[in-house]
Amino acid sequence: MRRKAFSLVEVMVALAILSITILILSYFGSSFALTRNAQIDTQAQAFARSYFDTLRASWSTRVAFTAGTPPSVALPSGFRNLTVTTEDLQTIGTQVVLRRVTIQFTGPQNRAYRFVTEVAGPPQ
């Protein structure tokens, strides 16, 4: 006697294998996307840290700090629209002693990044 159809057990085993395969593939697919997003976030944080280090180095003298001109640097590849704002937080008389610096830019997936630091003026 020849069979022309699958048994119920064969169909259930095939469905179980198929569903496990789909589950594993979707897990790997989402983990790749999460890994890529984490890499982009890390690159943005590294840029911000580097920018703030450059800023502190350029404002290491009283004259440069008083002028308050932020350094001009290039964004990493894929990032755009760098905006730097400074805000005087504390003054003694007419002399600024503490500034807040905010940088904002857009990442490769149109995600907005914003980093803030405060910089104290160098001693006289």
35-64 tens-digit pLDDT: 889 999 999 999 999 999 999 999 999 999
What is the pTM for the complete model shown?
0.76
In whole angstroms, what is the distance from residue 114 CA to residue 52 CA?
13
pLDDT of the residue at 1: 59
Which residues does 52 contact at the CB level (< 8 Å), separation at least 6? 101, 103, 115, 117
Q: Kindly tell me if the per-residue pLDDT of 123 is higher than 90.
A: no
Q: Kindly tell me if the per-residue pLDDT of 117 is higher than 90.
A: yes
pLDDT in tens, 64-109: 999 999 999 999 999 999 999 999 999 999 899 999 999 999 999 8
In whole angstroms, what is the distance from residue 117 CA to residue 100 CA?
6
